[in-house]
Structure 1
Amino acid sequence: MAVSTVVQPCARCGARWAVQGRPMHWCPRCRGVLLSPAPVDAPPQRRNYRWVARPPGRPRSRETRPSSRTSAPVATPRYTEIPRWGLRDRPRRPISAPRSRLDRWTDRLIRLLTTTAVLFALSAAAEFGRYLLLMWNRTRLIEPILVYLSDWSVRVFAVLALVVALMTAVALVGWLIEARRRAYAADGQRDPRGMWALLLGCVVPVVNLLWPGVFLTELARRHDDPRMLRAVRIWWSVWVLNGVMAVVALSFRTASTLQAQANGVIFTVYTDLVATAVVVLSLWVVRSCEGLDLRGRRRLAKRWVPTGGPAVPVIEPVHPAGAGSDDADSAAAVPDPAGPAAPLAADAEVVQDVRAEAVSGADSEQEEVMAK
């Protein structure tokens, strides 16, 4: 029986099977793929397969040579979360912290401050209109419709101003808590005053004349901004003044005489105007904390820098009369880098005139000596 010289090696176990007719596709031993038939003693260039043994970690290509330099160790790849692949991947949005109702009020702070200032100004105008009616009523009668409109305008604007002022106060407390938290967090610290301490110190009557100024002063010193500290001190003074005036205005409500009631009306006008100033100053403090001016524009830093250069003589010193004309021409032609061309030309002409007078003076003196 003739032994076949054509074999089919197995790609999995490496066994070689003799071809006895039709080539096989699968290895009878390991069920691996059999390569195409080839002679047993065929040279390498005629084989359609070759076995290459490489240790782990070596490059697969023969042309590739291992680099002499060792690369720096690379960190192990890892995921911060379970990867989820799909046909259309979208980056996950950062999960924002849940916002409280106080934060929602804080977002409307600027609008609330503006509305409160307008309402207090309108309330002052309504009170002043009532005072004018009282003055007019001293000599003549007033139409009932005017009295009705005056009463309702005073009541409506006073109530609206008080309600919106309370809403603004809540928004300001929320802003104060958040601003202090950011200021202390910038230095890696935590606000030593809790939320309830800040809230009660700003809301409780009589107590709120003192503690809001203290809280704002601590915030201004954290920012190390003298302009903000000055704004806080001005706001604090007007805030205390407004509180005292509000108490005095309420005491006029219990007056029994007409003159005292009229004085209470005009004093209420002043109180509303001071309240308007408090709201505007509150807006100023908020803007100063954010690095803005009262109108919301970015403040520009003013720096004093030295200007000008070293003093340069306008007319060069006159050289002795024995100096040649070449030196004079060269001295007159040398430009001064510190000044324009026109003044330099004029200065050169002046220098030449001075030198010419000096030379002529020296020649005349020499002629007089020779004549003697």
Structure 2
Amino acid sequence: MVAPAPRRPGPSPCPRCGRTAPPGSGAFCPWCGRYLAALEWVATTPGGQASSPPQRRDRYTGPPRYRAVPRWGLPVGPWRAPAASDDEPLLPVHRARALAAQLVPVLWVTVVMSLVAAVAESWRYGLLLLSRTDALSADAVGWSDALVWFGGWSSVVAAVAAGVLTISWSLWAHRAAADRAGARAWRSRRRIVAGWVVPGWNLVAPGSLLAETEHAALELPPGRRPSPSRELLVWWALWAACVLLAVVALLWRLRTGTQALADGVVLHLWADVLAAVTAWRTVRVVRLLTALLEPRAQGPRELLVSRQAANPDAVRAERAEPAPAGPPAAPTAAPDPAEPSRG
């Protein structure tokens, strides 16, 4: 509440005795002493001013109208942060890490789709075995064909997407490893891409490329021959087997005959299983090499070292405070107990 404010000026009759005070008699009644000014109490919020009456809003009349077509507007396309002139380009290690973050989910999708394709091929092979002794249901055959079609094409699309991202990641990972080792990347971009896609060459080139990347990321001597780790050797063997089996499965489709079709189903089944395993091992290799390019600090470590000494006096001597640095003092003879001290 705020202090009362007078409502209207001028003399007014006293509300207690009803008499009108003469002009100039003051704010109190000269006969009964009551306060004569009329009061108006205004309630306000603590620490604030009196609330003003709400303003009346006009009725909505629709969107604004212009006499001519406005010249202003937003640019076409998504919003992009303006690139400053002093911004430094991204380092190869940052590009490799960003591509690895996109590649790993796509590889997991490849694993799932390859397993779906393997299940579809196994179902089809089971139907082939049943068809030797009994007639098959049209619904079962239809669902089997649909699942084979979906699993086959989805696994192919996922594998192609994963392959494109893998090649891009290997390009920047190779350059980042060379920068980390303080050397120059001797493989060009065309050579790296050709090593992934050229038939025959893609059996050995990807493994040697990742072996060099691992060698440089570990900061080993550049003149020393790279020695791949066990994780990389396992991936290399799976990669070569997957490529060879995929080529054999494609060439097998050219054969005709009932037995050739049944063998082709089994071949596609093992090709899908091997593709899923290879994609899973690729996830591990990508994570391993990306972590080697720029290992993250894990914080300080506390290492407790215990030592047992054979002589306890040696331990006490080591725990004693060291003597202050200075020139060695001359040796003095021990005082004789029989000789009186000189004060």
1:307/1:156 CA distance change after superposition, 3 Å: same
Match of 1:95 in 2: 87
Alignment correspondent of 2:186: 192
User: For the structure 1 residues 227 and 133, does the alpha-carbon distance in structure 2 shift closer, same or farther, using more than 3 Å as the test?
Assistant: farther
Cα distance, 1:306 vs. partner?
A: 9.7
Partner Cα separation in structure 2 for residue 145 and residue 95 of structure 1 = 62
Q: CA deviation at 1:206?
A: 2.4
Greater per-residue helix proportion: 1
- Structure 1 CA distance for aligned equivalents of residues 121 and 236 of structure 2: 26
Q: Which has the higher contact order (CA 8 A, sep 6+)?
A: 2
Q: Is the 8 A contact 2:181 2:216 kept in 1?
A: no
Task: Answer yes or no: is 1:112 the counterpart of 2:75.
Answer: no
**Alignment correspondent of 2:172:** 178
Contact 2:178 2:217 (8 Å CA) reproduced? no
Distance in 2, matches of 1:191 and 1:310, equals 51
Query: Which position in structure 2 is the counterpart of 1:247?
Result: 247
2-structure distance, mates of 1:232, 1:268: 26
Aligned equivalents of 2:288 and 2:204: distance in 1? 21
Equivalent residue, structure 2, for 1:27: none
Match of 1:148 in 2: 142
Does structure 1 conserve the Cα–Cα contact (< 8 Å) formed by 2:110 and 2:159? yes
Q: Which residue of 2 aligns with 1:268?
A: 268
Query: Could you state the TM-score of these two structures normalised by the residue count of structure 2?
Result: 0.55
**Mapped partners of 2:243, 2:183: distance in 1:** 34
C-alpha RMSD over aligned residues: 3.5
The count of corresponding residues between Structure 1 and Structure 2 is: 215
Aligned residue among 150, 154, 161 for 1:167: 161
Q: Percent identity?
A: 29
Rounded Cα–Cα distance in structure 1 between residues aligned with 2:109 and 2:127: 27
User: Is contact 1:127–1:266 with CA below 8 Å preserved after alignment?
Assistant: yes
TM-superposed deviation, 1:181: 1.0
Local SS of the residue matching 1:191: coil
Mind listing any 5+ residue stretches in structure 1 that lack a counterpart? 1-91, 313-372
Q: Greater CA radius of gyration, 1 or 2?
A: 1
Structure 2 counterpart of 1:129: 123
Where does structure 2 lack aligned partners over 5 or more consecutive residues? Answer: 1-83, 220-225, 311-343
Question: Residues 227 and 189 from structure 1, CA distance in 2 versus in 1: closer, same or farther, beyond 3 angstroms?
Answer: closer
Shift of 1:128: 0.6
The reply on whether 1:204 has 2:205 as its aligned counterpart is no
In 2, are the aligned partners of 1:126 and 1:154 still within 8 Å (CA)? Answer: yes
Compute the displacement of 1:269 (Å): 0.8
Alpha carbons 1:127, 1:268 under 8 Å: kept: yes
Instruction: State TM-score, norm by structure 1.
Output: 0.51
Work out whether residues 133 and 142 of structure 1, in 8 Å CA contact, stay in contact via their aligned partners in 2.
yes
Structure 2 counterpart of 1:131, one-letter code: Y
Partner amino acid, structure 2, of 1:177: L
Letter in 2 for 1:113: L
Distance 1:98 1:311, change over 3 A: closer
Q: CA deviation at 1:179?
A: 0.9
Shift, 1:248, TM fit: 2.2
Task: Identify if the C-alpha distance between structure 1 residues 160 and 299 changes in structure 2 by more than 3 Å, giving closer, same or farther.
Answer: farther
**Cα distance 1:221–1:98, how it changes in 2: closer, same or farther (>3 A)?**
closer
The answer to whether 1:259 aligns with 2:259 is: yes
Q: Could you tell me which amino acid in structure 1 is paired with residue 235 of structure 2?
A: W
SS at match of 2:183: coil
Instruction: Give the conservation status (yes or no) of the 8 Å contact 1:116–1:161.
Output: yes
Q: Distance in 2 between matches of 1:113 and 1:246?
A: 17
- Taking a change above 3 Å as real, the CA distance of residues 228 and 306 of structure 1, as seen in their structure-2 partners, is farther
> Residue type matched to 1:139 in 2?
T
